[in-house]
Amino acid sequence: MDKQELTQLIDVAAGRKPADLVLKNGVIIDVYQGTTLEGDVAIVAGKIAGIGGSYEGQEVRDLAGKYIAPGLIDPHIHVESSYVTPEEFGRLLVPHGTTTVMADPHEIVNVAGLKGLDYMVEAAQHTALDIQYMLPSCVPATNMENAGAVLTAADMKAPLIEGKAEGLAEFMDFPGVIHAQEAVIEKLLVAKNLNKRIDGHSPMVYGKELNAYVAAGIANDHECSTVEELQDRVARGMYVFLREGSVTQNLRTLLKGVTAKNARRCVLCGDDVQAKTILEKGHLDNSIRICIEEGLDPIQAIQMATIYTADCCQLSDRGAVAPGLKADLIIFSDLHEFSVEETYIDGKQVAVNGEYVVPVTRAATTAVQSSVHIGDFSVAKLVLPLTSNTARAIGVIQTEALTNEAIVQVARDEQGNFVYDETQPVAKIAVVERHHNTGNVFVGLLKDYGIKQGAIGLSIAHDSHNLLVTGTNDADMALAIEELKKQDGGVILVNDGKVIGRFALPVGGLMSDLTGEEVVKQQEVIDKLAHEVLGIAEEVDPIMTLGFMSLAVIPSLKITDLGLVDVTKFEFVPVSVEE
Tell me if 578 is assigned to some domain.
no
User: Does 42 share its domain with 95?
Assistant: no
User: Does 117 share its domain with 134?
Assistant: yes
User: What Å distances lie between residue 367 and 114, 290, 364, 371, CA to CA?
Assistant: 11, 40, 8, 10
- Cβ contacts of residue 177 below 8 Å, gap of 6+? 171, 184, 188, 212, 213, 216, 218
Tell me if 331 is assigned to some domain.
no
The domain that contains 107 carries what CATH number? 3.20.20.140
Tell me if 361 is assigned to some domain.
no
User: Does 127 share its domain with 194?
Assistant: yes
User: What Å distances lie between residue 294 and 30, 253, 289, CA to CA?
Assistant: 22, 10, 9
User: Does 45 share its domain with 88?
Assistant: no
Do the beta carbons of residue 462 and residue 548 sit within 8 Å?
A: yes
What DSSP string runs through 145-194? S--S----HHHHHHHHHTTS-SEE-----HHHHHTT-HHHHHHHHHHHHT
Angle at 573 between CA 572 and CA 575, to 5 degrees: 130
As a whole number, mean pLDDT of residues 412-433 equals: 97
Identify the bridge partners of residue 418 per DSSP, sorted by sequence position.
Answer: 412
User: Does 53 share its domain with 149?
Assistant: no
- Out of 303, 320, 337, pick the residue that ends a domain: 320
Is the pLDDT confidence value at 161 over 90? yes
- pLDDT score at 375: 85
For residue 21, the surrounding DSSP H or E stretch is: strand 19-30
Three-state secondary structure call for residue 70: strand
User: Does 305 share its domain with 391?
Assistant: no
* Confidence grade of residue 399 (pLDDT, cut at 50, 70, 90): confident
Q: What is the pLDDT of residues 342-387, one digit of tens each?
A: 999 999 999 999 999 999 999 999 999 999 999 889 999 999 999 9
Is the pLDDT confidence value at 403 over 90? yes
Do the beta carbons of residue 314 and residue 197 sit within 8 Å?
A: yes
User: Does 407 share its domain with 519?
Assistant: yes
The domain that contains 18 carries what CATH number? 2.30.40.10
In terms of residue numbers, what domain contains 10? 3-65
- pLDDT score at 178: 97
What DSSP string runs through 41-66? EEEETTEEEEESB---EEEEEE-TT-
Tell me if 102 is assigned to some domain.
yes
Tell me the angle at which helices 516-532 and 86-93 cross, rounded to the nearest 10 degrees. Answer: 90
The percentage of the chain sitting over the pLDDT mark of 70, rounded to a whole number, equals 100
Tell me if 120 is assigned to some domain.
yes
First to last CA, the chain: 72
Q: What is the pLDDT of residues 65-104, one digit of tens each?
A: 999 999 999 999 999 999 999 999 999 999 999 999 999 9
The percentage of the chain sitting over the pLDDT mark of 90, rounded to a whole number, equals 98
Distance CA 544, CA 547 (A): 5
User: What Å distances lie between residue 230 and 206, 355, 546, CA to CA?
Assistant: 11, 36, 27
Looking at the structure of the chain, the number of domains it has is 3
- pLDDT score at 61: 98
Is the pLDDT confidence value at 401 over 90? no
Residues in the chain, how many? Answer: 579
Tell me if 128 is assigned to some domain.
yes
Question: What mean pLDDT is reported for the chain?
Answer: 97
- pLDDT score at 202: 96
* Confidence grade of residue 158 (pLDDT, cut at 50, 70, 90): very high
Distance CA 457, CA 503 (A): 10
Q: What is the pTM of this model?
A: 0.96
User: Does 185 share its domain with 77?
Assistant: yes
Three-state secondary structure call for residue 450: coil
User: Does 176 share its domain with 60?
Assistant: no
User: Does 8 share its domain with 133?
Assistant: no
Distance CA 554, CA 566 (A): 10
As a whole number, mean pLDDT of residues 185-207 equals: 97
- Out of 28, 44, 65, pick the residue that ends a domain: 65
* Confidence grade of residue 398 (pLDDT, cut at 50, 70, 90): confident
For residue 564, the surrounding DSSP H or E stretch is: strand 563-566
- pLDDT score at 400: 87
Tell me if 82 is assigned to some domain.
yes
Stronger pLDDT, 1 or 50, i.e. the higher one: 50
User: Does 116 share its domain with 234?
Assistant: yes
User: Does 92 share its domain with 58?
Assistant: no
- Out of 320, 350, 380, pick the residue that ends a domain: 320
Nearest to 60 by CA among 20, 106, 13, 28: 20
As a whole number, mean pLDDT of residues 516-537 equals: 97
Nearest to 477 by CA among 431, 436, 434: 431
Tell me if 552 is assigned to some domain.
yes
